[in-house]
Structure 1
Amino acid sequence: MLDTGRIIEDRSLRDRLSVFENRTDAGRQLAAPLSTLETIAEPVICAIPAGGVPPGLEVARALKAPLRMAVVRKVQVPWDPEAGFGAVTWNGRVFLNRSLMTGLDLSEAEVNAAIAKARKNVAERIEKFASGREEPEIEGQDAILIDDGLATGYTMFAAIEAARAGSPRQVVVAVPTGSLHAVNFIARQADLVICLNVRTSRTFAVAQAYEQWHDVTDQEVQELLIQARDMGLL
């Protein structure tokens, strides 16, 4: 492990592909450095659904910490749902990447429609995954935000800003994989970033870090939450 003060990475995994079997395996590997940090005293695991829930459950299990949903949805580019130009968070805040929007040449109507769609999805996920509990309840505690990877880092940036509003003791971001650009960006926002597999390639995809990759379904998330409830983590 390499600890630069604000970033912890596994240098043996730098620029490697297919380093995790799946998201569950990634969560187990992520739990190892987290469990040794003396600076974390009262962790609350805040998983970003859907992809962050499998690793988040493994970290919560290892740290014997509560698992909460940190619902954030990207504001989608109308003609490319996989791309986003902003994010909406669980507490209703909207973050827009203005520099990216300039190049997209979006109309006001397109922007408003995309934001409305993201807001609706956030509300649906809060009801479905968090039983209507909007806030992850992190006041005075160590909020550990978990997702399956950082591509641009903008969704995580929005999650950090939303988490700060909950007055945690500190905000830690823990992800299995991330682009170097995104990791550096997020390290300027969070108190600490743990990213095991940092990749410097200009062409970055989160999926490349995993041997098995698929979009996590709502049913899978609900099954994982049942497991977490049975373990007393919810």
Structure 2
Amino acid sequence: MENYIYQDRIHAGAVLAGILKEKDIADGVIMAIPRGGVVTAAQVAEELRLPLDIIIPRKIGAPFNPEVAIGAVTQDGTVLLTENKQLLQFTGKGAISDFIKQEIKEIKRRMQEYRGNTEYPEYTGKTVIIVDDGIATGFTTRAAIMSIKKIFKPHKTILAVPVAPAEVIDMLSTEVDEVVCPLVPEPFYAVGQFYANFDQVTDEEVKQIIRH
């Protein structure tokens, strides 16, 4: 039995836009998390007629297994580390520092590639709506939220995602003013299980959307 609910990322964006239309966000800016989140966010921005931009959090992978997150970082140097002290000790402060520098360099490269520059317009005091195509653990999302608060000092922060597990929504709801998440399934295994089409989004697609 199929258990997806969204046709694709564009459909998910339309669902989010339908909910966000009811809110007072005329001063808003849509802040997408690449890559998949850009497709979803672009639909939201188009329907709400709001500017679209990106924030790029990057996972800091453990040296023995890059899929195991020991932290997350954003372009302004905001760093969020795991609470697993054994994992941090095993990795070592020097290695963690090196990984952070590497990821910040990669973030800036991607910002340049996707946007054409690394400087943001004046978003201070606006309502920032953070959009992704779904959340699994919330680690990089949390780093993005922390960074947005620091960089833009927004009037209000809204996290809008099509699907996420309940415990992640509970955690992130303490970091933002409001969460919009139409689907909070139980059990939750992966974001892609709730999409009929969840093809990988390319760098070129992101670039075309952001520079459109």
For residues 150 and 136 of structure 1, what CA distance do their matches in structure 2 show? 27
Q: Is 1:138–2:123 an aligned residue pair?
A: yes
Q: Is 1:18–2:16 an aligned residue pair?
A: no
For residues 85 and 204 of structure 1, what CA distance do their matches in structure 2 show? 21
Q: Which residue of 1 aligns with 2:51?
A: 66
Alignment partner of 1:82 out of 53, 67, 79 = 67
Letter in 2 for 1:102: Q
Q: Which residue of 1 aligns with 2:178?
A: 192
1:89 positional shift? 1.1
Q: Which residue of 2 aligns with 1:163?
A: 148
Q: Please say which of residues 171-180 and 150-159 is displaced more in the overlay.
A: 150-159
Q: Please say which of residues 76-85 and 65-74 is displaced more in the overlay.
A: 76-85
Q: Which residue of 2 aligns with 1:183?
A: 169
* Aligned residues of 1:49 and 1:69 also touching (Cα < 8 A): yes
Alignment partner of 1:92 out of 47, 65, 77 = 77
1:189 positional shift? 0.7
Letter in 1 for 2:71: G
For residues 101 and 204 of structure 1, what CA distance do their matches in structure 2 show? 26
Number of equivalenced pairs? 209
Q: Which residue of 2 aligns with 1:7?
A: none
* Aligned residues of 1:47 and 1:147 also touching (Cα < 8 A): yes
User: Which whole-Å deviations, capped at 9, do the CAs of 1:167-210 have from their partners, x for residues lacking one?
Assistant: 11101000011011111100011000001111232x52111111
Q: Is 1:222–2:204 an aligned residue pair?
A: no
Letter in 2 for 1:114: F
Task: Evaluate the alpha carbon distance shift between residue 128 and residue 34 of structure 1 in structure 2; reply closer, same or farther with a 3 A threshold.
Answer: same
* Aligned residues of 1:46 and 1:136 also touching (Cα < 8 A): no
1:120 positional shift? 1.8
Q: Please say which of residues 161-170 and 103-112 is displaced more in the overlay.
A: 103-112
Identity of aligned residues (%): 33
Q: Which residue of 1 aligns with 2:16?
A: 30
Task: Evaluate the alpha carbon distance shift between residue 29 and residue 74 of structure 1 in structure 2; reply closer, same or farther with a 3 A threshold.
Answer: same
CA RMSD of aligned residues (A): 1.9
Runs of 5+ unmatched residues, structure 1: 1-15, 230-234
Task: Evaluate the alpha carbon distance shift between residue 80 and residue 32 of structure 1 in structure 2; reply closer, same or farther with a 3 A threshold.
Answer: farther
For residues 167 and 178 of structure 1, what CA distance do their matches in structure 2 show? 26
Alignment partner of 1:111 out of 96, 112, 115 = 96
- The secondary structure found in structure 2 opposite 1:172 is strand
For residues 141 and 121 of structure 2, what CA distance do their matches in structure 1 show? 15
User: Which whole-Å deviations, capped at 9, do the CAs of 1:6-55 have from their partners, x for residues lacking one?
Assistant: xxxxxxxxxx9311111111111111100111x32311000011121000
For residues 155 and 110 of structure 1, what CA distance do their matches in structure 2 show? 19
Q: Which residue of 2 aligns with 1:102?
A: 86
Q: Which has the higher strand share?
A: 1
1:212 positional shift? 1.4
- The secondary structure found in structure 1 opposite 2:162 is strand
User: Which whole-Å deviations, capped at 9, do the CAs of 1:42-96 have from their partners, x for residues lacking one?
Assistant: 1100001112100010000011000011121111233433342211113222221
Q: Where does structure 1 differ by over 6 angstroms across 4 or more consecutive aligned residues?
A: none
For residues 134 and 113 of structure 2, what CA distance do their matches in structure 1 show? 23
